[in-house]
Amino acid sequence: MNSLQISKKLLECDEDKLIELKYSAPKIGSLSKNDVFVQSKALLLKIHVITGWTLPTGEILNILIDQFQKKLVEDYPSLNVEEVEYAFRHSGTSVEDFGKEFNLNLIDKVLWPYEVRRREASRHEEQMKPPPQKKTYDPEEVLNQYRYDIETAFQAIRKGYKPIIHIYFAETLIQDGLMKNGENINDFLVSVVNDPNRKNLYVHD
């Protein structure tokens, strides 16, 4: 392999891993507040071990945990905790501020590039999916849908609205023996709407 082929192969492997991680755990945005809190504390400790970033103590640590979990929910809700951990394992140690005091700006330096790569991987994933198979509708299903549309339009007219009258209305009404062949659809609808004893054109069984 030449260098270009090797780079392409590495990129494909990387994307496969990103897609695998994408489905490995629930999204942060879908977690309960308590789960986010617990997972955020665990992630802070793991990131501290991975990067060497210094964690504060006491009240400042509580504030960091609070702000960290809010940042995850607000800025990275589509990621999951496995992805966050992976991102820091593979990129966190290369950040220039390695070994410095933990802050939210450092989080962005790792997670933002990761999310960009993940978004690109997801785009490629969508392109690789086969097109959805077209559903074959049963003729009776189609006819029943037409009847439903006609009934909906009839009830709308009774309430004073002017619905769209589709071309298949007349065809269906004639086929069902409700309207005479050659009769004008608008004239027919006016007559049945003005009939005080006519509450429906079609009654659902």
- Do 15 and 98 fall into the same domain? yes
pLDDT tens across 5-25, in order? 433 433 444 888 889 999 999
pLDDT score of 32:
94
Token pair in block for residue 186 = 């608008």
- Do 19 and 81 fall into the same domain? yes
Structural domain including 181 reads: 139-193
Q: How far apart are the two ends of the chain, measured CA to CA in Å?
A: 68
- Do 54 and 155 fall into the same domain? no
Token pair in block for residue 175 = 């086929």
Instruction: Give the C-alpha separation, 87 to 113, whole Å.
Output: 9
Residue 12, domain member (yes or no): yes
pLDDT tens across 72-93, in order? 999 999 999 999 999 988 875 5
pLDDT score of 105:
87
- Do 108 and 16 fall into the same domain? yes
- Do 57 and 156 fall into the same domain? no
Residue 16, domain member (yes or no): yes
Residue 102, domain member (yes or no): yes
- Do 55 and 102 fall into the same domain? yes
pLDDT tens across 53-75, in order? 889 999 999 999 999 999 999 99
> Which residues are paired to 54 by β-bridges?
101
Residue 71, domain member (yes or no): yes
Residue 4 has pLDDT above 70, yes or no: no
Q: Among 128, 158, 179, which residue terminates a domain?
A: 128
CA-closest candidate to residue 44, choices 81, 17, 98, 18: 81
- Do 67 and 159 fall into the same domain? no
pLDDT score of 7:
38
Token pair in block for residue 174 = 């004639």
- Do 76 and 25 fall into the same domain? yes
Q: Among 93, 109, 128, which residue terminates a domain?
A: 128
The structural domain count of the chain equals 2
Residue 108 has pLDDT above 70, yes or no: yes
What average pLDDT is seen over the chain? 85
Tokens 């964690």 locate to 55
- Do 64 and 153 fall into the same domain? no
Residue 198, domain member (yes or no): no
Residue 144, domain member (yes or no): yes
Residue 26, domain member (yes or no): yes
- Do 32 and 98 fall into the same domain? yes
pTM: 0.57
pLDDT tens across 138-180, in order? 888 889 999 999 999 989 898 888 888 999 999 999 999 999 9
Instruction: Give the C-alpha separation, 202 to 205, whole Å.
Output: 9
- Do 170 and 72 fall into the same domain? no
Residue 200, domain member (yes or no): no
pLDDT score of 113:
87
pLDDT score of 52:
87
- Do 74 and 174 fall into the same domain? no
